[in-house]
Amino acid sequence: MDDYFLKFEDRTPEPPLPYSAPRELLWQSLATVALVVGAWYIEWRWTASLNTEAMWFAVPLAIAETCAYIGMILFVFNLWKDEPIEILAPPSCLNDIAPDHPEGDRPLAVDIMFATYNEDPALVRLGLRDAKKITYPHAIDIRIHVLDDGRRAEMRRIAEAEGVNYITRTTNEGFKAGNLRHAMEQTSGDLLIICDADTRPFPTILENTLGYFNDPKMAWVQTPQWFYDLPEGETLDAALNRRFGQKAAIAGRAIQKVVGPIRIGADPFVSDPKMFYDIIQRRRNWANASFCCGAGSIHRREAVMEAALRSFGAKVETRAHATEEVITVSSKEREIAPDLMDAIRTEAATTEILTPYRFHVSEDIYTSIVMHADRERGWKSKMHPIVESKMLSPQDLLTWTTQRYKYAGGSLDILIHDNPLFRRGLTFPQRMMYATTFYSYLAPIWNVIFLIAPIVYLFTGISPVTAYSDAFFWHLIPFLVTLELAMMAGTWGVPGYAAKASYLSFFPLGLRAITSVLKGSQISFKVTPKVRQSGNFLVLVRPQIAVVVLTVLAGLWALGALAADATPHSATGVVSNILWGFNNCLAMLGIIGAALWLPGAEEGIE
Give per-residue pLDDT as tens, 89-124: 999 999 999 998 999 899 999 999 999 999 999 999
Distance, CA of 56 to CA of 68 (rounded, Å): 19
Supply the pLDDT for residue 602.
45
Per-residue pLDDT, averaged over 48-73, amounts to 97
- Taking residues 6-34, what's their average pLDDT? 94
Identify the band that residue 475 occupies on the pLDDT scale cut at 50, 70 and 90: very high
pLDDT for residue 360: 61
Write phi, then psi, for 419 (nearest 5 degrees).
-55, 120
Q: Nearest-CA neighbor of 458 among 363, 355, 550? A: 550
CB 216 within 8 A of CB 99: yes
Q: Contact, 74 vs 430, CB < 8 A?
A: no
Q: How far is CA 223 from the centre of its chain?
A: 14
Write the pLDDT tens digit of every residue in 225-270: 999 999 888 888 888 888 888 888 888 888 888 777 778 888 888 8
- For residues 415-444, average pLDDT: 92
Q: Is 165 helix (H, G, I), strand (E, B) or coil?
A: strand
Q: What is the largest CA-CA distance in the chain?
A: 93
What local confidence, expressed as pLDDT, does residue 96 receive?
Answer: 96
pLDDT at 181: 85
DSSP structural state of residue 284: G
By percentage, how much of the chain surpasses pLDDT 70?
87
pLDDT of residue 606: 40
One-letter amino acid at 569 equals: H
Who has greater pLDDT, 71 or 494?
71
What is the distance between the alpha carbons of residues 522 and 361, in angstroms, rounded to a whole number? 9
Closest CA to 347 of 319, 312, 310: 319
pLDDT bucket at 389, cuts 50 / 70 / 90: very high
Residues 6+ apart with CB under 8 A from 236: 252, 253, 255, 256, 262, 263, 264
Measured distance CA(143)–CA(369) in Å, rounded? 28
Is the pLDDT score of 302 beyond 60?
A: yes
- Asked if residues 550 and 230 have their Cβ atoms less than 8 Å apart, the reply is no
CA distance 202 to 308: 30
The secondary structure element, H or E, covering residue 50 is none
Percent of the chain at pLDDT > 90 equals 60
CA dihedral 144, 85, 300, 134 (to 10 degrees): 10
In DSSP terms, 382 is beta-bridged to 221
How big is the chain, counted in residues? 606
Instruction: Give the count of beta carbons closer than 10 Å to the beta carbon of residue 104.
Output: 13
Q: Which residue has the higher pLDDT, 383 or 320?
A: 383
* Cβ proximity of 195 and 201 under 8 Å: yes
Q: Which of 79-93, 363-377, 564-578 has the lowest mean pLDDT?
A: 363-377
Tell me the backbone φ, ψ of residue 28, rounded to 5 degrees. Answer: -65, -35
Helix (H) or strand (E) holding 463: none
DSSP string, 166-235: EE--S--TTHHHHHHHHHHHT---SEEEEEETT-EE-TTHHHHHGGGGGSTTEEEEE----BTT----EE
Alpha helices in 332-443 (DSSP H): 338-351, 363-372, 397-417, 428-440
Among 136-145, 257-266, 343-352, the least confident range: 343-352
What value does the mean pLDDT of the chain take? 88
Q: Is the pLDDT of residue 533 over 60?
A: no
Confidence class of residue 601 from pLDDT cuts 50, 70 and 90?
very low
Q: Which of 37-51, 334-348, 527-541, 588-602 has the lowest mean pLDDT?
A: 334-348
Question: Smallest Cα–Cα separation from 64: which of 448, 454, 591?
Answer: 448
pLDDT classification of 323: cutoffs 50, 70, 90 = low
Rounded to 5 degrees, φ, ψ at 332 are: 60, 30
Half-sphere exposure of 175 (CA within 13 A, CB side): 14
Q: 234-235 and 380-383: which strand pairing?
A: unpaired
Amino acid residing at 399: T
Which residue type is seen at 263? R
Cβ neighbours of residue 189 closer than 8 Å, sequence gap 6 or more: 109, 110, 111, 141, 143, 301
Measuring CA to CA, which residue among 562, 558, 596 is closest to residue 578? 558
The predicted pLDDT at position 294 comes to 85
